[in-house]
Amino acid sequence: MKPLIIAFVVLFGTLVGVAWMNGRFGNSVTPKNNVAGEKSLYFEPEVVLEVGKEGEINLMGNYSGAPITAFNMEFVYDSTLVKVEGIAINDNFNKLISSNIDQNFGKVLIKASSGYATGTLKSGVQKLATIKMSGIKKGGMMITGGRRPEVTIFENGKNVEGDFTVKTFKVSVK
């Protein structure tokens, strides 16, 4: 009877310990919802490319407090697995200031602004640009921000710098 009680106490202690420590050190027993937060830039949809075939991902911005009026974004990728074919900015951003694709180092720079009246722009989730890419060879990679993005928002009657973060994005090539 004693071993059964001891086993029960150890099991109960382990369950309480896991419940108490869940997420405390960055690892979580239960999966967390991977939703983009406020003031974030992210890519969607999840994409699985095929070797030699082209696919598209969208660069999205999320801020419900004010519309995004300009952005300067750099991201890096594995240029041995995918090739970025082109960039198209969303219709809300009619001034493409610069876009640079460096296939050798796997860097993409997109800088655009909106010349439209700020009252016509919407806040919330916005599609900023569409990136066309094709698979070169099989594998997986992460797209990450190359440096801190510069995002301008229209808040309180003037354009101000927003403090945005970039979420990493997984791309698989089959």
Q: How many residues does the chain have?
A: 174
For position 34, what pLDDT does the model report?
47
- Residue 48: is its pLDDT beyond 60? yes
In order of 70, 92, 153, 154, 159, the CA distances from 117 in angstroms are 13, 10, 13, 10, 12
For position 112, what pLDDT does the model report?
87
Q: Which residue has the tokens 């997984």?
A: 170
- Residue 31: is its pLDDT beyond 50? no
pTM of the model: 0.71
For position 107, what pLDDT does the model report?
92
pLDDT tens digits, 119-165: 777 888 888 889 999 999 888 888 888 888 888 888 877 878 878 88
For position 36, what pLDDT does the model report?
59
Q: Average pLDDT of 49-76?
A: 88
Q: Which residue has the tokens 């993409």?
A: 108
Q: Average pLDDT of 59-79?
A: 88
The DSSP 8-state label assigned to residue 21 in this structure reads: H
pLDDT tens digits, 95-116: 777 788 888 888 999 888 887 7
For position 23, what pLDDT does the model report?
55
In order of 77, 78, 96, 103, 109, the CA distances from 113 in angstroms are 24, 27, 7, 24, 14
For position 22, what pLDDT does the model report?
65
